[in-house]
Structure 1
Amino acid sequence: MVVTRTDTLSETPDRIRAAFADAGVGGRLHALDIDSGAGLGVDADESVPTASVHKLCLLVALHDRASNGELDLTEPVDCPPQGRTPGPTGIAAMLDTARLSLRDLAYLMMAVSDNAAADLLLARVGLDAVNRTTARLGLDATRAVHSFGAMLATVKEDAGPAGAGALADPHVVARLRALDPARTNHSTARDMTRLLRAVWRDEACPPEHGAAIRRVMGLQVWPHRLASGFPFDDVHVAGKTGSLPTLRNEVGVVEYPDGGRYAVAVFTRTAQTAGTLPAADAVIGTAARIAVDALRAGRA
């Protein structure tokens, strides 16, 4: 049987749903050819909690304000250990006072998902500015509700006196406000690919700032989600992950040596509360590869 472009694209969502099911997750996905605008999705307009993926919105807002002359990216920021937003990476995990520029805080926020760096930036940029930037770009389903520290505080409060150990209980996880898009930072898979397309086409910020955003996204250290689907030396993946109990996300751009550029957003949720689920991580790359392969077949 000859498989046409229409057949390939129409069958792709079912293949992606099957991959999600095999990995034991529910998933939302959107993939977009940055240059042609062709796209495909799986429940791409359903609201989802973004977790650390929302750091991308903060990064774009930072450069938006810098491009308007409202702040200087080389401005130094003192980062004392007292009052830092908790986290396992970057200055969040450091013990001593540090001083970093805004742009170096942005690097830590994106490369290792440093929560403390993100909230220091957010204090300078402003939550309202993040929402103004996403609104300007037409991302009507995307909104920042609180800081990353405030989000983590809701997890701690909702877990109760038993602390982190309670997060192994599915009933406790079910009540976490941080997993309810109506009560936390949220977006959709389609909105996130629209944002990525705007960044890669220099429509979100002037070219100098777009290049800076693309550079820092390309420095993310985690290879186990989106990048795992594209294990080729000549294919470049730039992305941002997001994680919370039972939730694993990543949004990013896959660039091929022939010039093809594809924005992909994948949001997953599993009923299993274990912190380490390799199959749930890997399916993000698998689903993204299925989607990108279908879009590339449509180019032929």
Structure 2
Amino acid sequence: MRLRIRLILVPIALFMNFVALGQEAERVSIALKDVSEGLVGYIGVAAQDMNTGKQVFLNGDEPFPMASTYKIAIAVTLLNKVESGELKLTDMIEVQDEEWVLSDIIASNFIHQGVSLSLANIMEVMITHSDNTATNVALRLAGGPDAVNKHVEQLGIKGMHIDRTTSDYSRDFYGQEPGRENMAEAIKNLSANPGLANDPQPEFEADAKDKSTPRAMLNLLTFIYEGKGMNKENTAFLLGVMSRTVTGAKRLRGLLPANTPVAHKTGTLGGISNDVGFITLPDGHSFAIVVFTRGSDTPLADRDRAIAEVSRTLYDYFLLMPD
């Protein structure tokens, strides 16, 4: 009951106060900072009601490491190539030996040469399981980081740039060479140091590469939702894939009412825990949400809780203040 009071009665009183004071967005930002205090190092938030256009920001123009949330930009660029006829979702794509890095689906389950997947399945596991080998393949097909950046710029989005493949991440963060022949060693090294993936690396986070502001990621999400640059079928395809994400169950989804539809993409690396996507309210309309964090030396469960608290606070806000 105490948890229910915190998550429902307190926000109702809080938001009624927002109305009286007429400073909704600013006070919601303060609430977001309060609910995440002590759980993460530094947090950035951007959100938008997809019906009204109402927005909320907390450190919205600060650059944050995207980690695996950058895979959304890759997916959008690939679907642009599908739109132009350069690629088809049914195209069979061979995974090249040098593209193998530690990943939950491909590298963990297919140990032999001769792996080919359709473009649709490459994108599926890249998003739903955050498969890094699939991401290497997808980025190659997209034309590399420069091609993704060019497409993002053509959409008019500023404040986001992609610089590395997941092979580069493997070298820069884990000190591990990519390639199918190196997977046994990579698995052994990670098993010997299980905390490596979630231990902060301040120098890595300070690197200017692969950064986005929450506002820039929010702009990308709104382009997806509104179907700009993609037809209805491809928009539905990407949103459908994002709705099947299995990572980060305790982040955006963590404190929402049961069976709330969420379409999202997580990112986790060192002191970075992120989650971005769309949440559907009971009346059927959605809001886009971006939660970026960095510099966290707290337990992963605390970081997840921070994202969940932000998500629930914004859920209540957009539900109770629809106009």
TM-score normalized with structure 2 length = 0.82
Q: Secondary structure at the match of 1:229?
A: coil
Q: Which runs of 5+ in 2 are unaligned?
A: 1-12, 177-188
Match of residue 202, structure 2, among 174, 178, 181? 174
Matches within 5 A, 1:226-241: 226-233=252-259, 235-241=260-266
1: CA distance between counterparts of 2:123 and 2:56?
A: 31
Count residues with an aligned counterpart.
289
Note the C-alpha offset of 1:99. Answer: 1.5
Matches within 5 A, 1:288-299: 288-299=311-322
Quote the residue 1:46 is aligned against.
62
Q: Secondary structure at the match of 1:224?
A: coil
Note the C-alpha offset of 1:4. Answer: 4.1
Note the C-alpha offset of 1:79. Answer: 2.3
What one-letter code is carried by the residue in structure 1 that aligns with 2:206?
Answer: D
Note the C-alpha offset of 1:197. Answer: 1.2
Of the structure 1 ranges 61-70 and 125-134, higher mean CA displacement relative to structure 2 is found in 125-134
Quote the residue 1:90 is aligned against.
105
Quote the residue 1:249 is aligned against.
274
The answer to whether the aligner puts 1:100 opposite 2:125 as a matched pair is no
Quote the residue 1:78 is aligned against.
94
Note the C-alpha offset of 1:251. Answer: 0.5
Q: Which runs of 5+ in 1 are unaligned?
A: none
Of the structure 1 ranges 27-36 and 17-26, higher mean CA displacement relative to structure 2 is found in 17-26
2: CA distance between counterparts of 1:262 and 1:101?
A: 31
1: CA distance between counterparts of 2:199 and 2:41?
A: 17
CA contact (8 A) 1:204 1:210 kept: no
Q: Secondary structure at the match of 1:72?
A: coil
Alpha carbons of structure 1 residues 299 and 251: separation in structure 2 relative to 1, 3 Å: same
1: CA distance between counterparts of 2:143 and 2:243?
A: 25
TM-score normalized with structure 1 length = 0.88
Matches within 5 A, 1:1-300: 3-5=17-19, 6-79=22-95, 82-94=97-109, 95-96=111-112, 97-127=114-144, 128-157=146-175, 165=193, 173-176=201-204, 179-180=205-206, 182=208, 184-222=209-247, 223-233=249-259, 235-272=260-297, 277-300=300-323
CA contact (8 A) 1:92 1:117 kept: no
Quote the residue 2:180 is aligned against.
none
CA contact (8 A) 1:249 1:267 kept: yes
Note the C-alpha offset of 1:266. Answer: 0.3
CA contact (8 A) 1:73 1:101 kept: yes
Quote the residue 2:184 is aligned against.
none
Query: Which portions of structure 1, spanning 4 or more consecutive aligned residues, are displaced by more than 4 angstroms?
Result: 163-168
State percent identity of aligned pairs.
Answer: 25
1:208-252 CA distance string (max 9 Å, x none): 11111111011101212111132322x200000011101100101
2: CA distance between counterparts of 1:172 and 1:269?
A: 9
CA RMSD for the aligned pairs? Answer: 2.5
CA contact (8 A) 1:8 1:294 kept: no
What one-letter code is carried by the residue in structure 2 that aligns with 1:99?
Answer: S
1:246-286 CA distance string (max 9 Å, x none): 110010100123122100000112441x7x52111121121
What one-letter code is carried by the residue in structure 2 that aligns with 1:35?
Answer: N
1:99-156 CA distance string (max 9 Å, x none): 1011110000001000000111111111232112211221111111121211221113
CA contact (8 A) 2:200 2:296 kept: no
Q: Secondary structure at the match of 1:40?
A: strand
What one-letter code is carried by the residue in structure 2 that aligns with 1:173?
Answer: Q
1: CA distance between counterparts of 2:245 and 2:272?
A: 19
Note the C-alpha offset of 1:291. Answer: 2.2
Q: Secondary structure at the match of 2:292?
A: strand
Of the structure 1 ranges 16-25 and 34-43, higher mean CA displacement relative to structure 2 is found in 16-25
